[in-house]
């Protein structure tokens, strides 16, 4: 049996290869894991946006997942785009059947260019069937607010969106975490890339400060990171959720896994600042040298 973690990503295909299953496999391999793929949809896209989406037939989605679980000792599952309610239902049934130890959901609702990637019917099933069996959910700020509305907390979502300071936002985050605990929901790691500038600005400093938040067991942990001013951040959420899945499969704590995943994504964004592939926004750079050295080249040079 392989000692490497084996990650299954259930997500869409990005023809520009900056996000989706290609980016997930790249991230997994760089971090010393083996990546498997079950595609849910094919997107026609490049660095300027998405032009079309073709959902994979539900039977094919099911057969992909079944074939992989029957052959591989899968350590963790990362879920990305679930384009329709039917596909979400198939994924839910398969995960309940095979019961992987770790499940990380990146609840992608729309692309950064505004294309809808999951409709309300699919999201309702995700909230009902998939979120409760996850180890951790990794929405961005906008996705968190959308999920809160679907989970019956529209006023809390409205308050979050109207927050004008970091202190106010953190107070609201505490209420969200308490709600998740009381509702028996899993941990949520909320990415800070979509927060408004008024919230990102540090009260003690003039410059912007990026921060993510982990909601777990009714508490909130804030993870600050240097703010990187770049448009080359396509696929950030995919890289983060995949890295988190890989680190969890190494049986470290959630807090440790979050720190490691955040640091990997930060390095990926830094390296991508000078990228100029295509005419739009480039993806993060998955092949971070120090991780290649750690997991692939150490002892071979």
Residue 197 placed within a domain: yes
More confident residue, 191 or 136: 136
Residue 286 placed within a domain: yes
Identify the pLDDT of residue 300: 63
Q: What is the CATH number of the domain that holds 16?
A: 3.40.1190.20
Per the structure, the count of domains in the chain is 1
Please state, rounded to an integer, the average pLDDT across all residues of the chain.
90
- Rounded to an integer, the average pLDDT of 186-212 is 74
Handedness of CA 250, 256, 262, 267 (dihedral sign): negative
The length of the chain in residues reads: 301
Identify the pLDDT of residue 112: 73
Contact 20, 11 (CB under 8 A): yes
Give the tens place of pLDDT for each residue, 112-126: 777 888 888 999 999
Q: How confident is the model at residue 1 (pLDDT cuts 50, 70, 90)?
A: very low
Give the tens place of pLDDT for each residue, 34-75: 999 999 999 999 988 899 999 999 999 999 999 999 999 999
Residue 300 placed within a domain: no
Handedness of CA 195, 196, 197, 201 (dihedral sign): negative
Residue 1 placed within a domain: no
Cβ contacts of residue 260 below 8 Å, gap of 6+? 243, 247, 252
Token pair, residue 46, equals 């490049």
Residue 276 placed within a domain: yes
Percent of the chain at pLDDT above 70?
93
Residue 219 placed within a domain: yes
Residue 111 placed within a domain: yes
Tell me the whole-structure pTM to 2 decimals: 0.93
Domain residues for 198?
6-294
Residue 144 placed within a domain: yes
DSSP 8-state code for residue 215: E
Closest-CA residue to 236 (of 20, 13, 46, 49): 20
């Amino acid at each position: 049996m392989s000692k490497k973690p084996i990650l299954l990503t259930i997500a869409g295909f990005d023809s520009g290869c900056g996000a989706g299953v290609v980016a997930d496999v790249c991230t997994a391999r760089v971090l010393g894991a083996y990546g498997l793929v079950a595609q849910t949809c094919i997107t026609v896209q490049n660095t300027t946006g998405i032009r079309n989406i073709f959902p994979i037939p539900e039977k094919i989605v099911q057969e992909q997942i079944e074939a992989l679980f029957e052959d591989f000792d899968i350590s963790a599952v990362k879920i990305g785009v679930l384009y329709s309610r039917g596909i979400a239902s198939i994924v839910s049934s398969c995960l309940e059947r095979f019961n992987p130890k770790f499940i990380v959901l990146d609840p992608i609702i729309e692309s950064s260019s505004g294309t809808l990637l999951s409709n309300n019917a699919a999201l309702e099933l995700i909230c009902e069937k998939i979120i409760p069996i996850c180890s951790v959910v990794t929405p961005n700020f906008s996705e968190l607010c959308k999920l809160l509305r679907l989970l019956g907390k529209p006023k809390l979502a409205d308050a979050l969106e109207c927050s004008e300071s970091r202190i106010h936002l953190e107070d609201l985050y505490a209420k969200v975490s308490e709600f998740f605990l009381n509702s028996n929901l899993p941990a949520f790691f909320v990415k800070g890339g979509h927060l408004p500038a008024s919230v990102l600005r540090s009260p003690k400093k003039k410059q912007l400060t990026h921060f993510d938040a982990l909601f777990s067991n009714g508490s909130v942990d804030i993870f600050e990171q240097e703010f990187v001013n770049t448009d080359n951040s396509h696929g950030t959420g995919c890289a983060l959720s995949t890295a988190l899945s890989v680190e969890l499969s190494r049986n470290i704590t959630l807090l440790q896994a979050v720190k490691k995943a955040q640091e990997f994504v930060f390095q990926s964004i830094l390296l991508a600042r000078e990228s100029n592939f295509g005419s739009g926004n480039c993806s993060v750079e998955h092949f971070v040298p120090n991780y290649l050295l750690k997991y692939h080249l150490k002892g071979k040079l």
